[in-house]
A = this chain, B = another copy of it.
Amino acid sequence: MTERVVLAYSGGLDTSVCIGWIAEETGAEVIAVAVDVGQGGEDLDVIRQRALDCGAVEAEVADARDEFADEYCLPALKANALYQGEYPLVSALSRPVIVKHLVAAAQKHGATTVAHGCTGKGNDQVRFEVGINSLAPGLKCIAPVRDYAMTRDKAIAFAEAKGLPIATTKKSPYSIDQNVFGRAVETGFLEDIWNAPIEDVYEYTQNPATPREADEVVITFEAGVPVAVDGRKVTVLQAIEELNKRAGAQGVGRLDMVEDRLVGIKSREIYEAPGAIALITAHQALENVTVERELARYKRQVEQRWAELVYDGLWFSPLKRALDGFVNEANQHVSGDIRMVLHGGRAVVNGRKSEQSLYDFNLATYDTGDTFDQSMSKGFIEIFGLSSKIAARRDLG
């Protein structure tokens, strides 16, 4: 029987060429799989037909937007996951859901190999291949760009020679990956890290410097899940979409950073993630009100490890599952309303309301009603500082 290869298909030039390229290199039949994670663009049916026209023996398309929001973006939100304290893992989150669909297609169609369009110097190749290995240890992985030296120029030549039904225009100067949780942009002139980004780079966000009216929003969470926006019930996907629109209109969520890739190099990245940043900011503020101090302190470390692990492509790892055990327990009481002003590139929380609040007005207030027993402090201070004091007696001796 002819070998079969499942290809992660986007509908663009490169993966369209991959269909024929892989067939020629390997003699295998190619099955194209396109997954909608909210990246926008063409209709799935159009993409499906193009795959077939380009020579795929089968083409599968999946609307995974809700799955992506519920099972990938939401755990990231509960973990306030920001790689290097900034990047909400946009691409890193979409890879595992795509992997799941690729593996399912491979199993359905009896494929032995999965192919993807990544280069050999980025994080995504690792995320795809480690993910595939973790879900289906028997599948092989290939990456034509990396393994068969399929450059852009060669891809254009191939498309023209074969008369593939796809435009072979000059490449955009931007290398882009986007989904409902955000958008990543790399481009030549920004590889000089002294150069500032220009407005042309952005699509999900308006210029924050443009004067406009502020927008105030109230986000309601239940056990860490955003369940309503301004009182209207929403799914997680809808929450992200609405905040992408409203926070994006205010220029919220632009990031410009030099990032440590898993493959050991530093790279300059521009991100836009208005909904993700607004939601994480609100979620953190609600945690400040509803999570006990020692749990909150420890959770910050867990969050960092969670973000590193997912950035590093280890979504399906045993450690990820155990960290989720912690994170879910910690989110149990993260319920309530956060009021936030979106304006001028900032998402600023200025009100919190929660039936699960640990903020106790009567303990906090300096006014009438104060119930804090200040006489307890003397003993606390004495014993809290005792080990330091004993050390000081020695070290100053």
| A contacts, CB < 8 Å to B | 84-85, 119-121, 125-126, 129-130, 133-137, 141, 146-147, 175, 186, 188, 191-197, 208-209, 211, 214, 254, 256-260, 262-268, 284-285, 288-289, 291-301, 304-305, 308-309, 313-314, 316-319, 321-326, 328-330, 333, 339, 343-346, 348-353, 356-361, 363-367, 370, 372-396
| Complex contacts, A330 vs chain B, CB 8 Å | 318, 322, 325
Which of B84, B262, B266 interacts with A358 by CB under 8 Å?
A: B266
Q: Are B295 and A322 in contact (CB under 8 A)?
A: yes
Q: Are B121 and A377 in contact (CB under 8 A)?
A: yes
Given contacts A196-B351, A266-B358, A294-B387, contact A325 B317 (CB under 8 A): no
Q: Are B317 and A294 in contact (CB under 8 A)?
A: yes
Which of B297, B346, B356 interacts with A308 by CB under 8 Å?
A: B297
| Complex contacts, A321 vs chain B, CB 8 Å | 329
| Complex contacts, A133 vs chain B, CB 8 Å | 385, 388-389, 392
| Complex contacts, A350 vs chain B, CB 8 Å | 196-197, 256
State the Cβ distance, A135 to closest chain B Cβ, in Å: 7
Q: Are B264 and A383 in contact (CB under 8 A)?
A: yes
Q: How many copies does the complex hold?
A: 4
| Complex contacts, A326 vs chain B, CB 8 Å | 322-323, 325-326
State the Cβ distance, A78 to closest chain B Cβ, in Å: 12
| Complex contacts, A344 vs chain B, CB 8 Å | 208-209, 344-346
Q: Are A121 and B288 in contact (CB under 8 A)?
A: no
| Complex contacts, A264 vs chain B, CB 8 Å | 293, 383-387, 389-390
Docked complex Cα distance between A351 and B258 (Å) = 10
Q: Are B265 and A363 in contact (CB under 8 A)?
A: yes
Output the nearest chain B residue to A303 by Cβ-Cβ distance. B85
Given contacts A264-B384, A300-B85, contact A367 B329 (CB under 8 A): no
Q: Are A372 and B325 in contact (CB under 8 A)?
A: no
Docked complex Cα distance between A292 and B209 (Å) = 34
| Complex contacts, A136 vs chain B, CB 8 Å | 396
Docked complex Cα distance between A350 and B257 (Å) = 8
Q: Are A120 and B351 in contact (CB under 8 A)?
A: no
Given contacts A191-B364, A326-B322, contact A377 B383 (CB under 8 A): yes
Docked complex Cα distance between A280 and B349 (Å) = 21
Docked complex Cα distance between A136 and B396 (Å) = 8
Q: Are B300 and A317 in contact (CB under 8 A)?
A: no
Output the nearest chain B residue to A388 by Cβ-Cβ distance. B317
Docked complex Cα distance between A192 and B367 (Å) = 12
State the Cβ distance, A107 to closest chain B Cβ, in Å: 11
Which of B345, B374, B391 interacts with A292 by CB under 8 Å?
A: B391
Output the nearest chain B residue to A128 by Cβ-Cβ distance. B381
State the Cβ distance, A360 to closest chain B Cβ, in Å: 6
| Complex contacts, A359 vs chain B, CB 8 Å | 193, 258, 266-268
| Complex contacts, A146 vs chain B, CB 8 Å | 374-375, 377-378
Docked complex Cα distance between A344 and B348 (Å) = 12
Known: A263-B380, A298-B305, A316-B392. 19 other contacts (CB 8 A): A120-B374, A129-B385, A134-B389, A137-B393, A141-B381, A191-B365, A196-B339, A260-B288, A262-B384, A264-B293, A264-B385, A265-B387, A292-B318, A292-B387, A294-B387, A295-B319, A318-B391, A324-B329, A373-B382
Docked complex Cα distance between A359 and B321 (Å) = 20
The 8 closest A-B pairs by CB, nearest first: A379-B379, A120-B374, A264-B386, A130-B385, A376-B379, A196-B350, A325-B329, A325-B325
